[in-house]
């Protein structure tokens, strides 16, 4: 027979309830019952240790049912199970039944020798008789037990939750969050958002800061509840916004900055490749705004000053948004942050309680920035700089000044972080370069500056505390920073700058000519492409084709796998824009590039997991559909196909068999060269086994270096260990040797460095696929080999 424990805040209540229940059955048929209630006869309370003792006392192999009243009784009972023997805990059930009704039902049922499950079910149904009698329909048996505040609470007015999966490539960071907030503005509705995946929230959808700090990353489930008069309209708008990925639909590629591969630089000046060497005095900006001389007024004064300062900054940001072109979203997000009601409420509360406006701004902005800084996603974390940028602007406005415009004499700007507003205001003719002391490579400011052809070195702590006017030199190619170089070094830098400059200009004039080595060997210099914009940029830059079309980025915004026709159309568009052959890499999901339409199940070590072709073995239909799209595109433009992350020749045999089946669907199949990516050291070491299976190889030096040196390039502490060395050269040489006359390309970052061109060509590489802005420079480098 099972045992029963009664937990209540009141010992008298528990004992009386037991007395009532025991009346129902004969004394010799009663189950063992213990009371764990009250701290003593008269003190209300529950005690986990007393409950544990009671459970142990009535325990048998048949199990124990715990009935309890409310509140701490539940917590204490759960805790008690951690104190008892684990074997006992396994057979204890805590019942959600109402105490008196449940206990009576339980005692009666237990006395018949029923199992724990049967007794528990009867106890939970203990309300049925009362419900039936009173005709109450809102609490069916087994539901809505008396102690369930989530459903019983009159405070639960949120309404049902609507859930969507976040598909934005960087999650709901500041820009899409701003789109969501502004999209819901003007409605009389309370919208609460939660990150279901992480269990974070709720966050008020009126606050960009709160929404962004839910840490919603791609694949996370966002749930929203709506209440208030306009709840239905709010739900409609929310779904509409979600359907367009909160304003990022279809712009995923243009909008995704990746540190390794900045987008095309829109530079009219051919020498402005973002690689130019510059030498100029330091202009130090971004030191803390000095508010020591601020003289606070009355609370009302402070409120007014704060409002004027906000209005001034908002006007400035709005102006920037209007002229920022593709980077507009960054400033729209800042506008939304300025309108954040939580920030405004906090500031109002501070000034009302006598804080000077400057203190209030520092405190409240720091709190919001800290929320971002606490996030684990590096991309989201860097959004904290947007907040600091706004804080700075508001403080300057309060001090009655604005950011001192950088002087018109040429200089290198030294800042802690490069915020977008500053970057957008830079004149490339005077600000020759930027050095950040703490910022990372994916900040908004870096993106804006790079797109304007200004070289940026990020995270250079050695520049911290450099004095205004100190001569600085930067070479963004190898990432060299010269602090106060001596006269001889200055000459070297100037020489380097001049030659780099004339090289770029000279290279541009021959950008569209083929690149032949001094021995007359043709080396194809191609563009890496992840968007139609890249293809256009590649064509302008004189690319001989594309050695890498990154399909997983091209279609990253698709939630469901794009069908063959969609893929074919996009590839044909790219092929036509480039006007030259393209090399399409099949889906390369996993690692740092999850695909929304392929499930990833949280591998412990994704970089060594089911990446690239490995994942296709699990999703053969997705793979076949992509090959259908590639084959269809190949009927209209010249296309090659290559498989990423191959390790074993069997994988290639399998992939080719799928391709053969797809080609067999056409009565007149197009010709299609097939290649492999060499990025796993094993593939290079076994290149002689792969060579007979394919038409070409393409070396992904980023991954190859990472896997060869066991270094995560994103980890600044070890990144230097992955720099090019004889280890990589040996693997490239092995591949070239094994492939003989078959083409071997390099499409990793190494290919984009003109200083390494001679080495790569010397090892036998016949194609270099590079960032579009450096096509001309690499072609020139080939001509010198």
- Would you please indicate which residues are annotated as catalytic (active-site) residues? 444, 747
CB 538 within 8 A of CB 775: yes
Interface pick for other proteins out of 63, 96, 126, 201 (rule CB under 8 A): 201
Shortest CB 464 distance to other proteins, Å = 16
Residues in contact with other proteins, shown as a per-residue x/- string from 8 to 47 under the rule CB under 8 A: -x----------------------------xx---xxxxx
**Minimum CB distance to other proteins smaller for 5 or for 747:** 5
Interface pick for other proteins out of 370, 484, 608, 653 (rule CB under 8 A): 370
Q: How far apart are CA 586 and CA 608, in angstroms?
A: 18
Interface pick for other proteins out of 32, 89, 312, 367 (rule CB under 8 A): 367
Q: Kindly report the three-state secondary structure assignment for every residue of 104-118.
A: HHHHHHHHCCCCHHH
Of the candidates 138, 6, 161, 133, the one whose C-alpha atom is nearest the C-alpha of residue 69 is: 6
Q: Does 155 bind other proteins (CB under 8 A)?
A: yes
Strands (E) in 376-461, as ranges, are: 411-415, 431-436, 456-457
**Minimum CB distance to other proteins smaller for 70 or for 144:** 70
Interface pick for other proteins out of 5, 14, 48, 120 (rule CB under 8 A): 48
Q: Does 636 bind other proteins (CB under 8 A)?
A: no
Q: Does 352 bind other proteins (CB under 8 A)?
A: no
Q: How far apart are CA 706 and CA 722, in angstroms?
A: 6
Shortest CB 340 distance to other proteins, Å = 15
Of the candidates 544, 532, 618, the one whose C-alpha atom is nearest the C-alpha of residue 577 is: 532
Q: Does 344 bind other proteins (CB under 8 A)?
A: no
Q: How far is CA 406 from the centre of its chain?
A: 34
Q: Is 412 helix (H, G, I), strand (E, B) or coil?
A: strand
Q: How far apart are CA 410 and CA 416, in angstroms?
A: 20
Q: Does 196 bind other proteins (CB under 8 A)?
A: no
Shortest CB 45 distance to other proteins, Å = 2
Residues in contact with other proteins, shown as a per-residue x/- string from 115 to 154 under the rule CB under 8 A: ----------------------------------xx-xxx
Interface pick for other proteins out of 22, 25, 57, 72 (rule CB under 8 A): 72
**Minimum CB distance to other proteins smaller for 44 or for 654:** 44
Q: How far apart are CA 334 and CA 314, in angstroms?
A: 8
Q: How far apart are CA 17 and CA 36, in angstroms?
A: 12
Residues in contact with other proteins, shown as a per-residue x/- string from 550 to 589 under the rule CB under 8 A: ----------------------------------------
Non-local CB neighbours of 682 within 8 Å, separated by 6+ positions: 647, 648
Letter string b/e over residues 109-126, b meaning 16 or more CB atoms within 10 A of that residue's CB: bbbeebebeebbbbbbbb
**Minimum CB distance to other proteins smaller for 71 or for 354:** 71
Q: Does 634 bind other proteins (CB under 8 A)?
A: no
Interacting positions 77-96 with other proteins (CB under 8 A): 78-79
Shortest CB 77 distance to other proteins, Å = 9
Q: How far apart are CA 534 and CA 546, in angstroms?
A: 10
Q: Is 193 helix (H, G, I), strand (E, B) or coil?
A: strand
Q: How many residues contact other proteins, by CB under 8 A?
A: 36
Return the range that interacts with other proteins (CB under 8 A); candidates 155-163, 417-425, 592-600, 652-660: 155-163
Q: 522 phi and psi, to 5 degrees?
A: -80, 125
Q: What residues pair up with 282 in beta bridges, in sequence order?
A: 412
Interface pick for other proteins out of 373, 377, 403, 648 (rule CB under 8 A): 373
**Minimum CB distance to other proteins smaller for 72 or for 536:** 72
**Minimum CB distance to other proteins smaller for 22 or for 53:** 53
**Minimum CB distance to other proteins smaller for 149 or for 240:** 149
Q: Does 160 bind other proteins (CB under 8 A)?
A: no
Letter string b/e over residues 53-68, b meaning 16 or more CB atoms within 10 A of that residue's CB: bbbbebbeebbbbbbb
**Minimum CB distance to other proteins smaller for 376 or for 605:** 376
Q: Where are the alpha helices (DSSP H) in 127-251?
A: 128-134, 149-152, 174-184, 208-212, 231-243
**Minimum CB distance to other proteins smaller for 150 or for 741:** 150
**Minimum CB distance to other proteins smaller for 364 or for 557:** 364
Shortest CB 462 distance to other proteins, Å = 20
Q: Does 54 bind other proteins (CB under 8 A)?
A: no
Shortest CB 147 distance to other proteins, Å = 10
Query: For strand 162-165 and strand 696-699, is the pairing parallel, antiparallel, or unpaired?
Result: unpaired
Q: How far apart are CA 692 and CA 94, in angstroms?
A: 67
CB 398 within 8 A of CB 294: yes
- State both tokens at 681: 């050291």
Shortest CB 404 distance to other proteins, Å = 30
Shortest CB 75 distance to other proteins, Å = 4
For residue 14, the surrounding DSSP H or E stretch is: helix 11-22
Q: What residues pair up with 678 in beta bridges, in sequence order?
A: 699
Alpha-carbon radius of gyration of the chain: 34
- State both tokens at 678: 């060499």
Chain positions contacting other proteins, by CB under 8 A? 9, 38-39, 43-50, 70-72, 75-76, 78-79, 149-150, 152-157, 199-203, 367, 370-371, 373-374
């Amino acid at each position: 027979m099972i045992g029963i424990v009664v937990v209540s805040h009141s010992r008298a209540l528990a004992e009386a309830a037991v007395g009532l229940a025991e009346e129902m059955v004969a004394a010799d048929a009663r189950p063992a019952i213990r009371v764990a209630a009250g701290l003593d006869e008269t003190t209300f309370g529950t005690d986990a240790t007393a409950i544990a003792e009671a459970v142990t006392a009535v325990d048998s192999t048949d199990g124990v049912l715990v009935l309890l009243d409310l509140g701490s009784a539940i917590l204490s009972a759960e805790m008690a199970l951690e104190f008892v023997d684990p074997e006992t805990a396994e057979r204890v059930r805590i019942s959600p039944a109402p105490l008196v009704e449940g206990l009576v039902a339980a005692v009666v049922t237990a006395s018949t020798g029923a199992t724990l499950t049967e007794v528990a079910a009867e106890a939970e149904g203990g309300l049925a008789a009362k419900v039936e009698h009173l005709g109450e329909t809102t609490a069916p048996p087994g539901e809505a037990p008396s102690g369930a505040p989530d459903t019983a609470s009159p405070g639960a007015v949120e309404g049902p939750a609507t859930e969507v999966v976040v598909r934005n490539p960087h999650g709901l960071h500041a820009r899409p969050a701003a789109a969501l907030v502004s999209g819901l503005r003007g409605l009389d509705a309370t919208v609460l958002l939660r990150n279901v995946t992480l269990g974070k929230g709720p966050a008020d959808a009126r606050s960009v800061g709160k929404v962004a700090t839910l840490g919603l990353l791609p694949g996370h489930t966002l749930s929203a509840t709506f209440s208030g008069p306009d709840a239905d309209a709010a739900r409609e708008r929310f779904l509409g916004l979600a359907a367009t990925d909160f304003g990022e639909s279809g712009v995923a590629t243009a909008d995704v900055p990746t540190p390794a591969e900045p987008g095309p630089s829109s530079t009219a000046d051919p020498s402005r490749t973002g690689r130019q060497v510059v030498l100029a005095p330091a202009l130090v900006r971004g030191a803390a705004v000095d508010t020591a001389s601020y003289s606070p007024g009355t609370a009302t004064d402070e409120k007014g000053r704060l409002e004027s300062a906000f209005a001034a900054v908002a006007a400035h940001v709005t102006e920037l948004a209007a002229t920022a072109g593709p980077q507009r979203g960054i400033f729209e997000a800042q506008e939304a942050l300025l309108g954040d009601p939580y920030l405004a409420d906090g500031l109002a509360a501070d000034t009302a309680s006598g804080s000077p406006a400057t203190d209030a701004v520092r405190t409240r902005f720091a709190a919001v920035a800290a929320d971002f800084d606490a996030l684990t996603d590096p991309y989201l974390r860097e959004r904290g700089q947007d907040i600091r940028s706004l804080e700075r602007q508001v403080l300057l406005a309060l001090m009655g000044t604005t950011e001192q415009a950088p002087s018109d004499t040429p200089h290198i700007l030294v800042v802690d972080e490069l915020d977008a507003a500053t970057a957008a205001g830079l004149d490339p003719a005077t600000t020759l370069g930027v050095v950040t002391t703490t910022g990372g490579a994916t900040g908004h400011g870096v993106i804006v500056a790079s797109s304007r052809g200004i070289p940026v070195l990020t995270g250079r702590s050695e520049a911290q505390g450099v004095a205004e006017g100190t001569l600085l030199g930067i070479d963004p190619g190898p990432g060299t920073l010269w602090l106060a170089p001596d006269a001889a070094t200055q000459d070297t830098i100037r020489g380097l700058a001049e030659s780099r400059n004339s090289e770029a200009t000279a290279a541009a004039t021959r950008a569209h000519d083929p690149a032949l080595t001094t021995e007359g060997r043709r080396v194809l210099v191609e563009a890496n492409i992840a968007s139609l914009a890249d293809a256009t940029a590649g064509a302008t830059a004189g690319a001989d084709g594309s050695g890498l079309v990154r399909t997983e980025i091209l279609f990253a915004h698709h939630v469901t796998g794009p069908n063959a026709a969609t893929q074919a159309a996009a590839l044909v568009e790219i092929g036509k824009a480039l006007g030259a052959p393209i090399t399409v890499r099949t889906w390369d999901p996993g690692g740092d590039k999850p695909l929304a339409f392929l499930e990833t199940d949280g591998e412990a070590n994704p970089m060594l997991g089911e990446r690239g072709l490995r994942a296709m073995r699990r999703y053969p239909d997705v793979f076949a559909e992509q090959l259908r799209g590639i084959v269809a595109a190949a009927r209209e433009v010249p296309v090659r196909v290559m498989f990423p992350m191959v390790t074993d020749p069997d994988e290639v045999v399998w992939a080719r068999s799928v391709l053969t089946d797809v080609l067999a669907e056409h009565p007149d199949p197009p010709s299609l060269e097939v290649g492999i990516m060499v990025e796993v050291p094993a593939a290079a070491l076994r290149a002689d086994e792969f060579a007979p299976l394919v038409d070409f190889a393409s070396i992904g030096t980023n991954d190859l270096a990472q896997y060869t040196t066991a270094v995560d390039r994103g980890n600044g502490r070890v990144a230097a260990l992955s720099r090019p060395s004889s280890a990589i050269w040996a693997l490239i040489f092995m591949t070239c040797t094994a492939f003989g006359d078959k083409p071997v390309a390099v499409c990793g970052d190494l290919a984009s460095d003109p200083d390494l061109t001679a080495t790569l060509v010397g090892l036998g590489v016949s194609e270099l696929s590079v960032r579009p802005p450096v096509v001309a420079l690499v072609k020139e480098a080939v001509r010198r080999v």
